[in-house]
Structure 1
Amino acid sequence: LYDAIAKLTYPEVKAFLVKYVDGGTPIPYEEFFSIAGIDYLKKKTIQAISMGRIDIKEQKGKIVVTDNSNMNQFGQKMGYQKGDELVSINGDTVTATNFDLLLRKFNASAKEGDTLSVVVLRKVNGKKNTSVTLSQQVFKADRVIEHVLEINPNPTPAQLEMRKIWWGQGFCK
């Protein structure tokens, strides 16, 4: 297949495929993107509002916290526990069918200083289904994002020329 691709394109394309696809050599994204003045970051930490970075799953029609080991600072302040069943978010009843909508509503409207109130059912002192209200003022917390591309604000003339080739005239100034 690579020979056919090389015939239709260039021998360098075959060499690339052999080295990076078959050969197992990691693609040097930083090097390739820098040609056009684009910075590639393997990981970047940003500040963002979230409900706390908890892992949840639907279980028998209920939304349950299945893992809290990756909680951010906000989730820790809220006090989520593994096994918590989410009952309501800021007064809105949580169901398996509306949780995504409630999460999007929170993400779209929450601002620093707002209060997030989440009612959960949890086991307390051996008693199941105890209602507990978790409440905290919203604040931005660390969030790690992976494989980030950022346009370099100070490209060289050669990088600008490459951008024009990649994206066409006028797309990126």
Structure 2
Amino acid sequence: MSSKKNFLVQGKPGTGKSLLMYDIAKELIDREQVLIIHTGKLNDGHRKLIEKGFNISPIKQYKKIDTDKKIKYILIDESQRLKLHQLNDFIEYSGRSDVKLVFFADGEQTLHKSEANEKICEKITFHIEQGQNQGEKFKLKSKIRSNIDLAQFILKILTLPLSLSDKE
């Protein structure tokens, strides 16, 4: 990855933000400590990925991040759902450590009026563009969710071992 410290990946629903996030995590997991923060409750799919070696935590437990694990990357899915104090905590933590933050978000996809009012994507963008740990933004444009070949690829990737050492 880049020498920059923070990243924002934006895209509308179905553009592959979460898939990209898990693919990035899978690539990094053999070399670095990666933490995935999910801004909702964990589901069965998350638990299966945890069994396969992914380090996934619900946002409610973000203050319990084990800093002794030498985490190098924190990937935050559905970042538009962060509360302002949570965003500030992540930015502060990244600023005083070697941790790189990668936000995955769709600012137009909110569940509650309070999420829309917080304008977290705008705040992340401001931080990426003008903050002390400036970074890069990426925009995903085309929908991939309805692509049949991609759906088959997703099913295959979920059955792959995380590393070559997992092969029998």
| TM-score (normalised: structure 1) | 0.21
Structure number with the higher helix fraction is 2
Give the structure with the larger strand fraction: 1
- Whichever of the two has the greater Rg, that structure is 1
Higher relative contact order (CA 8 A, sep 6+): 2
TM-score (norm 2): 0.21
